[in-house]
Amino acid sequence: MFAVGFTHVLLITTYKNNAMDNNAALVLFSGGQDSTVCLFWALKRFARVESVCFRYGQRHASEIEAAQAIAATAGIPFRIIDASLIAGLSSNSLTDASVPMDREQTGTTPPNTFVPGRNLLFISMAAVVARERNIANLITGVSQADYSGYPDCRDTFIRSLNETLNLAMDEQFVIHTPLMQHDKAAVWRLAGELEILELVKNRTVTCYNDIPGSGCGECPSCKLRSHGLRQYLSTNYTN
């Protein structure tokens, strides 16, 4: 049976019926490299920051524990949403361990690590939470510079979804994508500028094989991460 539910980790007061707060942000926070950088980016720009994390049957489920711990370090509210229904809607190697994982994109089709509808569902659910919390800004770490062939990481999709959500809920959400034009080296650079380089290196979970920090080194996510770090350390990103 499919289930969609909420787990509250910190006590969160309901705000609805008040005006939307343009100085508040809700971060879609997985506990990985990109969303962690986005979280600390948001903390520099918004007076009130909260986070939401999704349990969707992902094979790298320890990212949820990493997200909860990092949110506690940052001192922000953290909420887990059960979105496991998406695991039963398509065949992919992130939610079905019996599917061998593509190590890289082949041809023009997305790799089998692509979970169809994931960002569509997650951002839409986050918008509902944000509306109830009177939060006008949504932050997500998608990037079309290093997007691994995932169509729901493209700027055109995010812009379209932003307009759709505003029409659907009669609100004026703003979806922020701080990393949209950042390759992984630039993400590492931003982590350094935010003074969270060691936190990102050691405490995030990006690895699809569920190994924290530098990960397995073999899955597509680890390859992107390590290649970006090498670039960052060896080029003018360090200048």
The answer to whether 16 and 130 have CB atoms below 8 angstroms apart is no
Structure token digits, residue 60: 């790298």
The segments of the chain whose pLDDT lies below 70 read 1-17, 104-107, 147, 236-239
Q: Is residue 35 a part of any domain in this protein? A: yes
Q: Is residue 212 a part of any domain in this protein? A: no
The answer to whether 184 and 206 have CB atoms below 8 angstroms apart is no
Q: Is residue 225 a part of any domain in this protein? A: no
The answer to whether 155 and 192 have CB atoms below 8 angstroms apart is no
Burial 18-49 (b: 16+ CB within 10 A, else e): eebbeebbbbbbbbbbbbbbbbbbbbeebebb
Q: Is residue 175 a part of any domain in this protein? A: yes
Give pLDDT, residue 105.
Answer: 56
Q: Is residue 211 a part of any domain in this protein? A: no
Give pLDDT, residue 9.
Answer: 45
Q: Is residue 220 a part of any domain in this protein? A: no
- Tokens 């953290």 found at: 78
Give pLDDT, residue 196.
Answer: 98
Give pLDDT, residue 181.
Answer: 95
The answer to whether 205 and 60 have CB atoms below 8 angstroms apart is yes
Give pLDDT, residue 10.
Answer: 47
Identify the CATH number of the domain in which residue 68 sits. 3.40.50.620
**Tally of structural domains, the chain:** 1
Phi-psi region of 17 (alpha: psi -120 to 50; beta: other; left: phi over 0): left
Could you tell me the residue range of the domain that residue 36 belongs to?
18-95+110-182
Q: Is residue 237 a part of any domain in this protein? A: no
What is the pTM for the complete model shown? Answer: 0.90
- Please state the separation of Cα 82 from the chain's center in Å: 15
- Which uninterrupted H or E stretch holds 174? strand 174-176
Q: Is residue 172 a part of any domain in this protein? A: yes
Give pLDDT, residue 170.
Answer: 97
Distance CA 207, CA 222 (A): 5
Give pLDDT, residue 187.
Answer: 97
